[in-house]
């Protein structure tokens, strides 16, 4: 009987861990919100690594975007057809050929 209880406990723990891993994976696959230090925010499908460091681009989840959408600090910019670029003070800049939007 003790062996069966141990099996059930281990199985339940494995299910919880698997569900948590699935939730993390599902969140990571969604669109990302990118914001720079000037408050420009936009949606991006990738987490590019070639943003100018002086912009201080940070990435947030869709949930964060919904919570902060009405904050005056942020300026929500239109999505670009090709999201390989960034906003800087309201202007869209596409990555040049030398920095083709490397991503993680």
* pTM (2 d.p.): 0.64
Top mean-pLDDT range of 8-22, 24-38, 41-55, 90-104: 41-55
Residue 17's CB is within 10 A of a number of other CB atoms, namely 10
Predicted pLDDT at 98:
61
pLDDT at 91: 95
Domain ranges of the chain: 1-30, 31-104
Torsion angles phi and psi, residue 55, rounded to 5: -80, -20
- Tell me the pLDDT tens digit for each residue of 33-87: 999 999 999 999 888 888 999 999 999 998 999 999 999 999 999 877 888 899 9
Closest CA to 93 of 32, 65, 52, 47: 52
State the pLDDT at residue 104.
Answer: 53
């Amino acid at each position: 009987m003790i062996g069966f209880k141990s099996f059930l406990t281990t199985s339940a723990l494995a299910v919880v861990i698997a569900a948590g891993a699935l939730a993390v994976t599902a969140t990571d696959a969604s669109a990302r919100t990118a914001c720079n230090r000037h408050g420009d925010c936009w949606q991006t499908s990738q987490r590019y690594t070639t943003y100018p460091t002086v912009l201080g681009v940070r990435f947030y989840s869709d949930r964060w975007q919904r919570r902060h959408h009405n904050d005056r600090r942020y300026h929500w910019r239109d999505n670009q057809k090709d999201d390989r670029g960034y906003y800087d003070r309201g202007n869209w800049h596409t990555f040049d050929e030398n920095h083709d939007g490397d991503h993680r």
